[in-house]
Amino acid sequence: MTKTYRIGQIVPSSNTTMETEVPAMLRAHSRLRPNDQFTFHSSRMRMKKVQKEELAAMDAESDRCALELSDARMDVLGYACLVAIMAMGRGYHRVSQQRLTQRTASNDSAAPVITSAGALVDALKVMKARKIALVAPYMIPLTQLVMDYIANEGFEIVDWRALEIPDNLDVGRHDPAKLPGIVAGMNYADADVIVLSACVQMPSLAAVSQVEAQTGKPVLTASIATTYAILDALGLDPVVPGAGALLSGAYPRQAA
């Protein structure tokens, strides 16, 4: 029996990527599983510059966004900004997910809330990664903050690149065709997984298959991890063609 699921995304106001990559992956899933259909809905938090102060102010708007989306009775909500969560302190994705889920319940529309930050951490655990190589678009201080957050979750970062793009719109304009060349210059030999985009705004989906073929390593992005978490939360088979190792079918559902 066909069922249509409502996917809510809490996104930075300047984000242009999560509303393209996540729907693209879920529509590809639907082509494999025609009974799983999706509609997509967003609420926005103001943010233009990827700076710690703006990120903190933006995060304060996430409660409003969760309430707005719950008015439309979502089946799952995704908080689509990795660095905003990580900038709030180690382990904050757990605090955010619990609080925002409670906001939906308070509106008589309880729905699980995932974060791209938590989804990335959980995906690395699902893939049994211990060592990772990482590409991020942020300035170096924010990239180091992200790496500290990930390291605190039990992972070793063997090499990394910060592309130092301060404006969030420019992050969304970064050409994914440049990513294979960036990775080629990295020391990823000991990495279990390459995180091709530790950011939901930097487009990367188009380069995933090429980088996997080029390196012989599993490739993960924040948007792929978020899509896996969405499918898992809905109780659906986490399979999407062309979306890297995590969504290849090699990693079945985790949720009970």
The tens digit of pLDDT for each residue in 93-116 reads 999 999 999 999 999 999 999 999
| Percentage above 90 pLDDT, the chain | 79
Q: Which of 10, 69, 199, 208 is catalytic?
A: 199
What's residue 9's pLDDT? 95
Q: Is 81 a catalytic residue?
A: yes
What's residue 13's pLDDT? 81
What pLDDT, in 10s, does the model give residues 178-217?
999 999 999 999 999 999 999 989 999 999 999 999 999 9
Q: Is 65 a catalytic residue?
A: no
Judged against a pLDDT cut of 60, whether residue 256 lies above it is answered with: no
Judged against a pLDDT cut of 70, whether residue 52 lies above it is answered with: no
What's residue 20's pLDDT? 94
Domain ranges of the chain: 3-116+223-237, 119-222
Same-fold call for 3-116+223-237 versus 119-222: yes
**CATH code assigned to 3-116+223-237:** 3.40.50.12500
- The DSSP annotation for the chain comes to --EEEEEEEEEETT--SHHHHHHHHHHHHHHHSTTEEEEEEEEEE---B--HHHHHHHHTTHHHHHHHHHHT--SEEEE--HHHHHTT-TTHHHHHHHHHHHHHHHTT----EEEHHHHHHHHHHHTT-SEEEEEE-S-HHHHHHHHHHHHHTT-EEEEEEE----BHHHHHT--GGGHHHHHHTS--TT-SEEEEESSSSS--GGGHHHHHHHHSS-EEEHHHHHHHHHHHHTT-----TTS-GGGTTSS-----
Beta-sheet pairing, 3-12 with 76-79: parallel
What pLDDT, in 10s, does the model give residues 135-167?
999 999 989 999 999 999 999 999 999 999 988
How far from the centroid of its chain's Cα atoms is residue 114's Cα? 9
Q: Which of 80, 81, 220, 247 is catalytic?
A: 81
**So what's the architecture of 119-222 in CATH?**
3-Layer(aba) Sandwich (3.40)
Q: What is the mean pLDDT of residues 44-69?
A: 77
